[in-house]
Chain A
Amino acid sequence: DTGVSQNPRHKITKRGQNVTFRCDPISEHNRLYWYRQTLGQGPEFLTYFQNEAQLEKSRLLSDRFSAERPKGSFSTLEIQRTEQGDSAMYLCASSEVSGGKTDTQYFGPGTRLTVL
């Protein structure tokens, strides 16, 4: 499968615990995006990377959230001290941007987080 992959697919945790999710983008894609989706809503942007550089963070991304893409390939999203309001589907997407051409973002299957 050469698409975007995410692990784990499901995560159940207790309030206050830390969790980390991983995203592996399509191999030649230089941009990687994180979104959060709650039931009945569209995906909401969290942050995105160009190679290893984090270019933008949403206001939704509180200090408890941190994302990395250390070698410009896979990315991790960590949530510290989880709260029940963090329960959502976390989606990763990747795209290839070159020469100013508008990219097409391809999504992974998501990680569903449940905070008890």
Chain B
Amino acid sequence: GENVEQHPSTLSVQEGDSAVIKCTYSDSASNYFPWYKQELGKRPQLIIDIRSNVGEKKDQRIAVTLNKTAKHFSLHITETQPEDSAVYFCAANQAGTALIFGKGTTLSVSS
């Protein structure tokens, strides 16, 4: 089955800096890669996703890149703000099946 590895587990940046979180997956059949943000005590919220027919996707300060050959994908947050502080999870699946999540990255943005 699918296995998703995520690193780093914690990341501290200064406001305005960029943050990068990386994930690798094992199942070459996976074709959907979402990223969720989870604030303390709240539900995971989708922030961006990418499908296997695309190499990069951007939404304002957030971008995701996918390298299918190497089986890894990354989240890039530019111009970080204190409200970006949260736990970020990557995940992978095949269409319509259960998501397999990484263990999460705790991002702290200090002002």
Binding site for B on A (CB under 8 A): 4, 31, 33, 35, 40-45, 48, 50, 56, 58, 91, 93, 95, 97, 100-110
With CB as the reference atom, state the residue of chain A lying closest to B94: A102
A44 engages B46 (CB within 8 Å): no
Alpha-carbon gap, A48 to B42, bound state (A)? 22
A108 engages B96 (CB within 8 Å): no
B45 engages A107 (CB within 8 Å): yes
Binding site for A on B (CB under 8 A): 6, 31-32, 34, 36, 42-46, 49, 51, 89, 91, 93, 95-104
Alpha-carbon gap, A58 to B97, bound state (A)? 12
Would you call the interface of chain A mostly helix, strand, loop, or mixed?
A: loop
A108 engages B98 (CB within 8 Å): no
For this complex, 17 residue pairs linking A to B, each with C-beta atoms less than 8 Å apart, are: A40-B103, A42-B89, A42-B91, A42-B102, A42-B104, A43-B99, A44-B101, A45-B98, A56-B98, A58-B98, A97-B95, A101-B95, A103-B96, A105-B34, A106-B46, A107-B43, A107-B45
Alpha-carbon gap, A15 to B11, bound state (A)? 38
Which residues of chain A are near B44, meaning CB under 8 Å? 43, 91, 107
- What is the minimal beta-carbon distance from B54 to any residue of chain A, in angstroms? 12
Alpha-carbon gap, A67 to B101, bound state (A)? 21
A41 engages B104 (CB within 8 Å): yes
Alpha-carbon gap, A44 to B104, bound state (A)? 12
- What is the minimal beta-carbon distance from A95 to any residue of chain B, in angstroms? 7
B34 engages A33 (CB within 8 Å): no
Beyond A43-B44, A97-B95: 10 further Cβ-contacts under 8 Å? Answer: A42-B104, A43-B89, A93-B99, A102-B31, A102-B95, A103-B32, A105-B99, A107-B45, A108-B43, A110-B43
Which residues of chain A are near B6, meaning CB under 8 Å? 42
B98 engages A48 (CB within 8 Å): yes
- What is the minimal beta-carbon distance from A107 to any residue of chain B, in angstroms? 4
Alpha-carbon gap, A50 to B96, bound state (A)? 9
Alpha-carbon gap, A108 to B24, bound state (A)? 26
A31 engages B96 (CB within 8 Å): yes
- Give 9 nearest A-B pairs by CB, closest first: A42-B101, A45-B98, A102-B95, A102-B32, A97-B96, A107-B43, A107-B44, A109-B43, A42-B89
